[in-house]
């Protein structure tokens, strides 16, 4: 499936910078004027809060699809199996650049699962004003890369979603970081130490987090499949977010999806680790063929990249939704104008905006994230009701409240 956009035209520095500024402002005002009014519902009706937060998050995520397809004019090609709308799944992907997640929004948007899509990512990103606050509200899983604490947080987040009957699909990068010279060197050292093959297109996955997510979701009975996604850039790639400021984007991004029923995965940890490692070995072979086996050569020297495709040309059932993207662009620009005008002209709007900003600063200090505050409030409500929240690893146990208060200790 190709995105419904004209031929790629570079934006240039001015247009790229302007697009990023609009992105930042809409994220900031969205966190204040769209998610802000929903926050009190967290304390009264957690189920409703989670649904409203997901709607607000899908609006924010649609804006990213608009940026990629309609503004930056990136062509997205999707092949392989579908991510079904109501299927409870874990999505794993190789991490070629720091922007893979942004372009993958296009994939889940056309699969019509954007409102359920969440990402695991490093915790530093949660404190970007506006965008980071929105990701907290969406329920992204932020990792400190300290397994003792990350393990507890992943478990609590997954169990919390089940308790509220919110069944997201999580995008998880087993490699732990994007492909770069440093990560490639680290992967090669790991391979040499453990007698493994050195890879050229991927880095060796860290299986601990993958195993824990699969096992936890299995324990709560909310995992039907694992979707293995391979991402590739056939013409050019952009490694970091800062490149967007200069209007630099890849002309095309290709995603190939392979679905595995949860029944196909081993149940023991060693088997799951081997299964994940086998998928990455398969990715290495697939990407080697993708980048080197082309149908044309120019003077047997210059490789023609235009024909790069994954070997499986099967296209999953997807929705165009182009009109919705144009509506989204118009809606967000209108929202930006009215929000800026309100803050500029109305003392009440300015006070409200400052109050929301202050709220995020205070909860950052005491609780360390809106997603953790949500779990805290849910646990308190369950205690007041005398039912207790579902125990970690056992959602049917209503006698124990396992949710940590997450208050920072000295």
CB atoms within 10 A of CB 387: 12
| Distance of alpha carbon 283 from alpha carbon 355, whole angstroms | 48
Each residue of 219-251: pLDDT tens digit?
Answer: 887 789 999 999 999 998 888 888 888 888 999
In a domain, 85, yes or no: yes
Strand partners, 227: 91, 259
Each residue of 272-322: pLDDT tens digit?
Answer: 999 999 999 999 999 999 998 754 433 333 444 557 888 777 888 888 888
In a domain, 404, yes or no: no
In a domain, 400, yes or no: no
In a domain, 336, yes or no: yes
Each residue of 145-197: pLDDT tens digit?
Answer: 888 899 999 999 999 988 888 888 899 999 999 999 999 999 999 999 999 99
Q: What is the number of structural domains in the chain? A: 1
Residues 66 and 325: beta-carbon distance below 8 Å: yes
Q: According to the model, what pLDDT value does residue 383 have? A: 83
Least-confidence region, from 21-35, 258-272, 299-313: 299-313
Residues 94 and 230: beta-carbon distance below 8 Å: yes
SS (H, E, C) 361-386: HHHHHHCCCHHHHHHHHHHHHHHHHC
Residues 275 and 265: beta-carbon distance below 8 Å: yes
Q: According to the model, what pLDDT value does residue 294 have? A: 54
In a domain, 278, yes or no: yes
In a domain, 191, yes or no: yes
Question: Residue 342 is part of which domain span?
Answer: 13-385
In a domain, 408, yes or no: no
In a domain, 238, yes or no: yes
CB atoms within 10 A of CB 238: 19
| Distance of alpha carbon 210 from alpha carbon 207, whole angstroms | 5
């Amino acid at each position: 499936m190709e995105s419904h956009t004209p031929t790629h035209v570079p934006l240039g520095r001015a247009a790229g910078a302007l697009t990023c500024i609009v992105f930042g402002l809409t994220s900031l005002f969205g966190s204040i004027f769209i998610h802000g009014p929903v926050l009190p519902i967290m304390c009264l009706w957690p189920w409703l809060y989670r649904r409203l937060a997901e709607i607000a998050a899908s609006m924010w995520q649609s804006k990213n699809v608009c940026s990629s397809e309609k503004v930056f004019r990136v062509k997205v090609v999707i092949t392989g199996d579908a991510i079904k709308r109501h299927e409870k799944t874990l999505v794993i992907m190789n991490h070629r650049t720091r922007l893979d997640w942004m372009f993958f929004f296009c994939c889940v948007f056309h699969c019509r699962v954007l409102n359920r899509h969440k990402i695991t990512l490093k915790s530093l990103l949660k404190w970007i004003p506006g965008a980071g606050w929105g990701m907290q509200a969406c329920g992204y899983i932020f990792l400190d890369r300290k397994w003792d604490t990350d393990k507890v947080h992943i478990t609590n987040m997954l169990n919390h979603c089940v308790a509220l009957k919110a069944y997201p699909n999580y995008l998880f990068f087993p490699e732990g970081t994007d492909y770069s010279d440093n990560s490639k060197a680290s992967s090669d050292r790991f391979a040499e130490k453990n007698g493994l093959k050195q890879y050229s297109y991927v880095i060796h996955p860290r299986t601990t987090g993958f195993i824990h997510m699969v096992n936890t979701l299995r324990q709560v009975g909310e995992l039907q499949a694992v979707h293995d996604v391979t991402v590739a850039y056939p013409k050019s790639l952009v490694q970091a977010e800062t490149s967007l400021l200069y209007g630099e984007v890849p002309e095309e991004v290709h995603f190939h999806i392979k679905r595995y029923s949860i029944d196909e995965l081993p149940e023991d940890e060693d088997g799951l680790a081997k299964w994940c490692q086998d998928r990455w070995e398969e990715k290495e072979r697939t990407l080697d063929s993708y980048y080197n086996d082309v149908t044309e050569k120019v003077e047997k020297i210059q490789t023609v990249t235009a024909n790069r495709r994954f070997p499986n040309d099967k296209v999953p059932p997807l929705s165009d939704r182009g009109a919705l993207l144009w509506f989204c662009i118009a809606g967000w620009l209108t929202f930006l104008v009215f929000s800026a005008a309100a803050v500029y002209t109305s003392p009440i709007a300015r006070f409200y905006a400052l109050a929301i900003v202050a709220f995020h600063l205070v909860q950052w200090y005491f609780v360390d994230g809106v997603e953790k505050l949500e779990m805290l409030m849910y646990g308190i409500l369950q205690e007041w009701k005398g039912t207790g929240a579902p125990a970690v690893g056992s959602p049917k146990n209503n006698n124990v409240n396992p949710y940590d208060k997450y208050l920072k200790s000295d």
